Structure formats: C-alpha cells, structure tokens
C-alpha cells in the first residue's frame, strides 16, 4: 500500500514531491484533540491503545506527560494538547494513546478521541503554505475529506456515527510525525 | 533501501570481526613483548600475529576498507620479515608493531562512524617502518656447519630454513625423524604424531621422504628442534618404529655441500588435511596455501557474537514473563477453593515448574551478558606498556583474576576509568628507575591489578608501588584552590583528605604536578563508577604506593531496590546506595543555614525533601505524622531523603528512559512492577551532587522545551 511508504519518507516528500503525487491516495488516521480534528499518516501509527497507568517524570519537558509501559518497554508519552496548544478534555473513556514510530524512538501521543481512517487523494490535500508563514512546524497540510467517500474502520451504525463526527470537523489538520516527535537538543 | 540495510549489516559484521581480530592482535603483541623481554622464543606468537594481520588484510580488501587494508599490508610485510629472521625483534620494532595495532583500532573506530576522514597517518607510519625494516646482511651460514641432507634443504621454504637456522644458532638439538604411516590412516596418524611432537619440540618441517615409499604406506620425514635428549623424545613419541637421528655438526674442514638459494627452491609441503593419492604426486604438489589459510575458512571458536540490544530485548521479554508468572500464581491460588483438589494440585505443579524454568531462563540471559574482565585487562596492558615507554619508566604488570566475569555493559563502561587510573599510576605514581633505586626499591615498578568476586559485587584493586600521595600536600592544595577552608581542612582525617582527590575542581594538571601524586580527572573516574552503581576508594602511603579499589555490581540488569512513596508517587532507589532507613518525628528536623538537617548518632545528616525537590504536586491526603528518612551514600557523601512511606524491597529490572528523556537529572530509569505500573528509579549520585554541591546541569531544571 502506498501508505506504507510514507513512514520512511522525509516531510519534504509529503509536502508534494512527484513521488507522492504518483502514489495518489494516502491513508490518514483522524483523531480529536480538544475541539480540533487532526490526522497523522496511518503508516506511522503502530498501535492505538487505551491509556495505561502513567508515571510522572519530574522535570521532564513540559509536553511530556510521563512514561508508560508498552509490553515492558518504557515509552515516553507526549501530551498533544500541550504540544499543539489546544484546550483538551480530561482523560476519560475515549482517551487513547497513539503509538507513533518515527525515527529513533517510539513514542506515545495522548489524544482525546480516535475518529477514523481517511483515504485522501491529492486533490484533497492542501499544503501547509496556504496557511501562511505562521503555521507551526508540525503541520504539513490541510486535508478536506469531503470530496471522496470516507472509509471508516468499522461498518454499520457506529461507522455512520463516526462519519457524522468527522463531517462536523471536515477539515483535517495533517500533522508531520517527524517534526512532531523531534526533540530539541540543547547540546 | 533493503540493500542499504543489508550493506549495513555486512558492514557491522565486518566491524565486529575486525574488532575481535585487533583485540587478539594486541594480546599476541603483548605476549611477544613479554617473550622478547625474557629472551624466549616467540616463533609461534609471530606466526599468530602474521596470520591475524593477513586475515585482517583479506577482510579489509573484501569490504573495501582501503586504509585498513594498506596498514595491514605494511604490517604484514614487517611481520613477514620478522618471521623469516630478516630483521631482529627489538624494542623499536615492537613499538612500531604496537603503533600499527593502535592504528588499526583508530581506523576501525573511524570506519564505524561512516565516512569520517581519518587522522591516522599511514604514510608516516610506512616511512618509519621502512627505516626499521632494513634487512640484515646475511651472516655466516650455520647450515653449512651441520650434516644436513642437501636434498632436504633444497625443498625447505624460506621460513622453514630460517627456523632451522635459528634453532641451530640458538643451540637446539635438531633431530631427523622418519616414520612410516599407512596411507589409509595417514591423516589421523600424522595429526597425532604432530600433536605429540609439538608438546616437546618445534616441528621445523615435515615431508614425505624421498625414498622408502611404496606399497600402502608412506614414509614421513620430519625435522625437529628441541632441548630434550634423544631418549626423552623417543619416549614422548610413542612410536617404537620411528627412526630418530640427531643432526650432527660437521667435522671442521670437511667438504661443504653448497646450498641452493632457498627462495628459488620449489616450495613443497605435505598438507595434512589433503588426501595423499601417491607419494610422487604428493611431492610435486606445490604449496599454494600461505600461512593462515588453514584457518581462514573455519571459525576458530564456537562463539556467537550477539548485539547487546538483542539481549536487552530478551531480558525485557523475560521480565514480562515474570509478570505472567505472578499473575499465574495469583490465579492458581484463587482456584484452590473452587476446583477439586487433584486439578488444583496439577495446576499448582505446572505453575511451580513454569516458575522454576523461568528463573533458569533469567539466569541464562544474565549469564550470556557476562564477559571475563580479561577483555578489559588486555586493553589496560597495552596502555601500561605505552605509557611506561613514553615516560621511560619500567613497569611490570601483574594481573590476577582476569577470568572474573561482569556484565558486558559494565566492562565497557569501566574501560575509561581504568585507563585513567592506570595512566595516573604510571604518570604520577611510579618513579623513574634511577629514583627508585635511590630509595632502595627495585628499578622495575609493579602495577598489580587484582579482580575477584565478592557476593554480588566484583572488586578490582589496582595498586602500584610508586611514591604514594602526601595528604599534607592535598590539604594545602585544597585550601589554596578554595575547595576547603583552612579550618575545615585541618579537621579532616587522612581518609577524608584522600577523598578530596575525587572532588571536582581539585584535580587539575597543576595540582598534580605539585602534588607529584595523581588526581587527573579522578572526579570523572568517580562519577563514571558511581553511575554504574559502584564505588571507588583510594588508599595511599607516601613512599610505599597507592591502591585504588573499585567495587561494582556484577550486573546492571537486575538490582535490589528499596521502594518508597513520595506524595502518592512510588519511587525506587538501588539498595546498594542505601545505608539505612529511619523513622523520625517531624520535629527532629533542624535547620542549619537554611538547610534542613538531622542529627544522627552525633553526626549531621543533610536532608532533601524529595517531593519538593522533584516538584511533585501535593496529594489530597495529609502527610503522615512521622517522617521516613532514607539515608543514601555515594562515596563519602551522605544524604537523607525524606519520604512519606516505605514500601519494601524488591528485585527490579532497570530499563532506561527513552532518548527523549535522557537529559532528565536525578532519575536513572524506570522499572515495571508487573501491573503495567512504572516506577522511577532514582539516581543517587546525581541527587547527592545536586543537593550537596548545589550543582545541576542547567538542562535539569528547565527541561528540554
């Protein structure tokens, strides 16, 4: 699948090189943080999990919520709400951790709710540059899934409910996993 | 992309193999150095070295490491000349060899970094080698003095002839051995014979005899060099049918057989592993195999190289299985009342068996990680030699307990501190030979390294018989550098003064020369060792010597830890740093210059409220009335950690935090208690340093953002 390739390509490629255009349709996982709807390339999401017990790490960077154990592996959990500077909801039944694999370290991203997988054609993706220079470096584009039929992971009424939720936020902010997980080095 | 990965893997394989070869080379080189000093024969070691360099050359060529290949080629030439006796083994030659092997190590390190320009000056090295490698002028040919069969001499290789000549010159007895071996068992019979002979003599050459062949047997002729007598040799051979004759010195004035230039002689030899179809064809087969070719295809050992990260992963899985074990135990316990007794017994039995085998697996994995300290000591030996030569000092290195095993990771981390200590010992501890004789010491100094296991710890002692450290000078220097006040310094005991050497800022180059002791970077040594959960102590007596004792845990993977609660958070600290845990009424705390302290058995113990230190938010519940104080110590510094509740002791597997949290101060990792809950493991050394010295890296407080 074309999406598989996205995990290993540089953000520049995602922003519209010929290779991606040839690939045509790409898959994105949409999720909510606060009232905003975001999406990450599906290929970089290894797993969606419920929130395990979180151990606080004193003096960790502000966007680090703590550490969690993922099958025995100590994994850093990032707070997307802090990272993206949006007001989030408290951890509840719908809160999920996205395990994102990018570069040297697998990290967890806390999001308020996972929506669905969108397949976006190139005509459904606008580059981040449409937003001007003020956009954060994490945003690589805007997805408008309206033009194509969305493919939710589930079928039936549940799917329709999700569809409805997605339609309410029919603009997806496409995040760049590499920029998102990159740690500033203070060396 | 797949190809790139494959390439990386191949490259890694090469690097690992080359690394191993180079380690072996430096070990052999030390052996060579040793035998040269003692005036012993070293032909075998030279051969080993030659083979090693030869293999390295082949590998480098195969993988396109051109500079490594060039250096190997140069060294191979030098070794070849040594082997053939064209040049003599001398200290300068040894120096060049050591330099070459060090060059290998550096080139390899650079090759590992991918594409970094290397700083190893191969051309300069080649020049130096060239001046050394001036081939000796041929001297008197000793071969002409002996009754040697010219036919046999004619087929000796240059190397064999050199060995024969050397043996005769050194006064060894050379015997000629003839024995008939049946063709159908010639391989095993020959190997057996060689084994026996090698135990007491050097085999200079062996050939199928020119005559006496026929039927289903072949006559083998050997030339042996030994210091044993004929009868000793005969009994060791265990073959009464063997004909043994001593090669005698010619009567003077007897006519001499002229000998062909050996290099032009056809090189013929019988390869033991090859089948021998007929004597005549065996003789005609030329030896296409150079030295070492017997070894190049098959590995010499049954050792498997494993990336330590794979073992870490395995360890993780084993840790997970421990969780399963605990859950299973609870489950079986629940069943006790529910199901009938026989079923429960069965379940219980299975659970016990699982538990036992899991423990074995755990021990097995830990065992795989263990390496003998010899690997590390070999590197130390090279440094000792090098530094001693630089400083023109005579140092004898005495190593005991090199087979003591530690976790691979510890062995790696220990390398730098050890180098530091050894370098210091020779730089500053050991006197120059004249000075030593002046004070009645033997002119060769002794640096002794002794390692042994003590419970769950490994102790490494490094002692020298140098000039020792004068504590009066330490005191003076510490006051002058403002580390101690005059008053405080005068109160310190001898041990405490020695401890000052480990303080950061004390040990600078100027202090050291004034002290004529040691101390360069001893604070770094201490930090590194403390990080491994170990401790380092120093003892010294002026004029007698200095001893550094390093104590380390055997493994980092599993440690005993004390668990406690702070503001509702569960934390762990290695038991190794915990001196005691006390319960104190809250009003026992006093304040000295704004710092909270406790009086403990007449001494002052500084306190650190962990909750505030780490900035944990207050939980709803009120703090308990009494205070628990966990007294931790690293080296000679103590600190009391105020905690809310003690939660017992447990063996834990420490897992590192991800790279994203690598700069967090005061925490060395986390452990999974089995219920998916992670518990932070505190880094005692950095907490003590931060609280007592008021030092912390600027990153620690501000975080990364």
Contact (CB<8Å) B664/A58: yes
Judge contact between B96 and B131, C-beta under 8 A: no
- State yes or no: pLDDT of B202 exceeds 80: yes
User: Mind giving me the DSSP string for B283-333?
Assistant: HH-B----TTHHHHSS-SS------HHHHHHHHHHHHHHHHHHHHHHHHHH
Domain edges within chain A: 2-181
Cα angle, residue B17 at apex, residues B12 and B23 outer, rounded to 5°: 125
d(CA B397, CA B391): 15
d(CA B152, CA B175): 13
Q: How far is CA A89 from the centre of its chain?
A: 17
- Give the mean pLDDT of chain B: 77
The shortest CB-CB distance from A53 to any of B316, B676, B703 is to B676
The shortest CB-CB distance from B705 to any of A57, A62, A74 is to A62
Judge contact between B19 and B38, C-beta under 8 A: no
Average pLDDT over residues B174-184: 82
pLDDT at A14: 38
What fold is seen in the domain B371-553?
A: Heat Shock Protein 90 (3.30.565)
pLDDT in tens, A40-64: 999 899 899 999 999 999 988 888 9
A178-187, B228-237, B314-323, B599-608: segment of lowest average pLDDT = A178-187
pLDDT in tens, B332-362: 888 877 778 888 888 888 988 898 888 888 8
Highest mean predicted confidence (pLDDT) among B245-249, B253-257, B384-388: B384-388
Could you tell me the two tokens for B312? 């870490």
Average pLDDT over residues B176-197: 81
- State yes or no: pLDDT of B630 exceeds 90: yes
A149 pLDDT tier (thresholds 50, 70, 90): very low
pLDDT at B701: 35
Find the closest chain B residue to A53 by CA distance. B677
B275 pLDDT tier (thresholds 50, 70, 90): very low
pLDDT at B592: 84
pLDDT at B584: 85
pLDDT in tens, B112-157: 765 555 567 777 777 777 777 665 555 566 777 777 777 777 777 7
Residue closest to B266 by CA, chosen among B290, B288, B286, B293 = B286
Average pLDDT over residues B237-248: 80
pLDDT in tens, A59-100: 888 889 999 988 778 899 998 888 888 887 788 888 999 999
Contact (CB<8Å) B661/A60: yes
**What is the Cβ-side half-sphere exposure of residue B105, based on CA atoms within 13 angstroms?**
14
- State yes or no: pLDDT of B58 exceeds 90: no
Contact (CB<8Å) B677/A68: no
Distance from the A72 Cα atom to the nearest Cα atom in chain B, whole angstroms: 6
The CATH architecture assigned to B558-702 reads: Beta Barrel (2.40)
From the CA atom positions of chain B, what is the Rg in Å?
33
Distance from the A109 Cα atom to the nearest Cα atom in chain B, whole angstroms: 13
Highest mean predicted confidence (pLDDT) among B77-81, B479-483, B484-488, B624-628: B77-81
The CATH number given to B2-132 is 1.20.120.160
Average pLDDT over residues B92-117: 77
More confident residue, B586 or B384: B384
- State yes or no: pLDDT of B674 exceeds 50: yes
d(CA B22, CA B53): 8
Distance from the B336 Cα atom to the nearest Cα atom in chain A, whole angstroms: 29
The CATH architecture assigned to A2-181 reads: Beta Barrel (2.40)
More confident residue, A172 or B528: A172
A17 pLDDT tier (thresholds 50, 70, 90): very low
pLDDT at B212: 53
- In the DSSP assignment, the letter for residue B427 is I
pLDDT in tens, B544-567: 899 999 988 776 666 778 999 998
- State yes or no: pLDDT of B579 exceeds 80: yes
Domain edges within chain B: 2-132, 142-287, 308-368, 371-553, 558-702
pLDDT at B256: 43
pLDDT at B697: 39
Contact (CB<8Å) A59/B701: yes
Identify any residues that bridge with B681 across adjacent strands, giving them in sequence order.
Answer: B572, B669
Residues of B in contact with A6 (CB under 8 A): none
Average pLDDT over residues B596-605: 87
- State yes or no: pLDDT of B682 exceeds 60: yes
What fold is seen in the domain B142-287?
A: Alpha-Beta Plaits (3.30.70)
């Amino acid at each position: 699948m074309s999406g598989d390739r996205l995990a290993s390509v540089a953000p520049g490629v995602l922003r519209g090189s010929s290779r991606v255009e040839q690939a045509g349709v790409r898959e994105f996982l949409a999720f909510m943080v606060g009232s905003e709807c975001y999406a990450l390339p599906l290929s970089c999401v290894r797993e969606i999990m419920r929130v395990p017990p979180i151990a606080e790490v004193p003096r960790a960077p502000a966007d680090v919520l703590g550490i969690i154990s993922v099958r025995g592996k100590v994994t850093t959990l990032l707070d997307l709400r802090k990272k993206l500077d949006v007001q989030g909801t408290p951890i509840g039944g719908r809160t999920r951790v996205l395990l994102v694999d990018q570069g040297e370290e697998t990290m967890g991203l806390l999001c308020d709710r996972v929506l669905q997988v969108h397949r976006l054609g190139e005509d459904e993706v606008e580059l981040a540059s449409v937003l001007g220079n003020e956009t954060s470096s994490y945003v690589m584009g805007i997805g408008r899934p309206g033009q194509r039929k969305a493919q939710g992971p589930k079928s039936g009424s549940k799917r329709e409910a999700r569809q409805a939720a997605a339609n309410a936020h029919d603009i997806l902010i496409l995040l760049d996993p590499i920029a998102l997980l990159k740690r500033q080095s203070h060396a | 992309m797949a190809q790139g990965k494959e390439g990386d893997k191949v490259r890694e394989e090469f690097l690992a193999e080359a690394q191993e070869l180079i380690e072996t080379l430096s070990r052999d080189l030390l052996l060579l150095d040793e035998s040269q000093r003692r005036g012993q024969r070293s032909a075998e070691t030279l051969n080993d070295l030659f083979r090693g360099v030869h293999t390295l050359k082949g590998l480098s060529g195969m993988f396109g490491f051109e500079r490594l290949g060039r250096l190997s080629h140069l060294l191979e030439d030098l070794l070849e000349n040594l082997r053939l006796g064209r040049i003599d083994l001398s200290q300068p030659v040894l120096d060049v060899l050591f330099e070459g092997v060090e060059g290998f190590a550096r080139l390899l390190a650079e090759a590992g970094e991918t594409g970094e320009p290397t700083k190893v000056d191969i051309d300069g090295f080649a020049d130096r080698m060239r001046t050394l490698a001036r081939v000796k002028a041929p001297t008197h040919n000793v071969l002409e003095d002996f009754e040697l069969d010219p036919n046999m001499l004619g087929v000796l290789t240059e190397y064999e002839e050199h060995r024969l000549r050397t043996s005769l010159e050194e006064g060894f007895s050379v015997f000629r051995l003839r024995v008939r071996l049946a063709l159908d068992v010639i391989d095993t019979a020959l190997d057996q014979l060689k084994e026996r002979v090698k135990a007491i003599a050097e085999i200079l050459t062996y050939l199928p005899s020119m005559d006496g062949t026929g039927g289903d047997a072949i006559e083998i002729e050997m030339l042996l060099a030994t210091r044993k007598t004929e009868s000793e040799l005969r009994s060791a051979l265990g073959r009464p049918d063997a004909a043994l004759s001593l090669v005698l010195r010619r009567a003077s004035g007897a006519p001499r057989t002229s000998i062909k230039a050996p290099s032009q002689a056809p090189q013929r030899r019988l390869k033991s592993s090859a089948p021998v179809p007929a004597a005549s064809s065996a003789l005609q087969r030329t030896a296409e195999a150079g030295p070492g070719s017997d070894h190049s295809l098959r590995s010499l050992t049954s050792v498997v190289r494993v990336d330590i990260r794979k073992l870490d992963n395995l360890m993780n899985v084993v840790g997970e299985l421990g969780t399963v074990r605990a859950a299973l135990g609870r489950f079986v316990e629940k069943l006790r009342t529910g199901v009938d007794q026989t079923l429960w017994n069965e379940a219980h039995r299975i659970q016990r068996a699982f538990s036992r085998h899991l423990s074995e697996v755990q021990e097995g994995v830990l065992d795989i990680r263990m390496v003998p300290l010899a690997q590390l000591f070999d590197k130390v030996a090279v440094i000792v030699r090098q530094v001693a030569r630089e400083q023109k000092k005579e140092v004898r290195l005495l190593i005991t307990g090199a087979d003591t095993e530690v976790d691979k990771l510890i062995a790696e981390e220990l390398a730098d501190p050890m180098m530091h200590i050894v370098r210091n010992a020779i730089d500053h501890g050991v006197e120059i030979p004249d000075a030593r004789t002046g004070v009645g010491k033997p002119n060769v100094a002794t640096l002794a390294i002794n390692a042994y296991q003590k419970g769950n710890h490994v102790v490494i002692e490094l002692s020298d018989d140098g000039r020792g450290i004068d504590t009066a000078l330490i005191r003076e220097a510490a006051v002058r550098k403002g580390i101690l006040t005059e008053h405080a310094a005068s109160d310190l005991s001898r041990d405490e003064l020695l401890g000052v050497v480990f303080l950061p800022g004390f040990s600078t180059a100027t202090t050291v020369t004034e002290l004529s002791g040691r101390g360069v970077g001893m604070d770094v040594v201490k930090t590194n060792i403390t990080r491994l959960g170990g401790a380092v102590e120093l003892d010294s007596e002026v004029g007698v010597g200095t001893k550094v004792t390093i104590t380390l845990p055997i493994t980092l993977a599993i440690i005993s830890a004390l668990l406690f609660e702070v503001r509702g958070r569960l934390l762990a600290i290695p038991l190794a740093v915990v001196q005691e845990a006390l319960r104190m009424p809250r009003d026992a705390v006093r304040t000295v210059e704004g710092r909270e302290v406790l009086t403990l058995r007449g001494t002052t113990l500084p306190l650190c409220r962990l909750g505030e230190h780490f900035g944990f938010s207050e939980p709803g519940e009120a703090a308990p009335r009494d205070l628990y104080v966990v007294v931790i110590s690293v080296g000679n510094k103590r600190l009391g950690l105020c905690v809310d509740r003690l939660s017992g002791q447990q063996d834990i597997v420490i897992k590192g935090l991800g790279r994203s949290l690598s700069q967090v101060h005061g925490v060395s990792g986390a452990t999974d208690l089995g219920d998916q809950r992670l518990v932070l493991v505190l880094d005692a050394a950095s907490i003590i340093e931060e609280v007592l010295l008021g030092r912390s890296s600027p990153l620690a407080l501000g975080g990364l953002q």
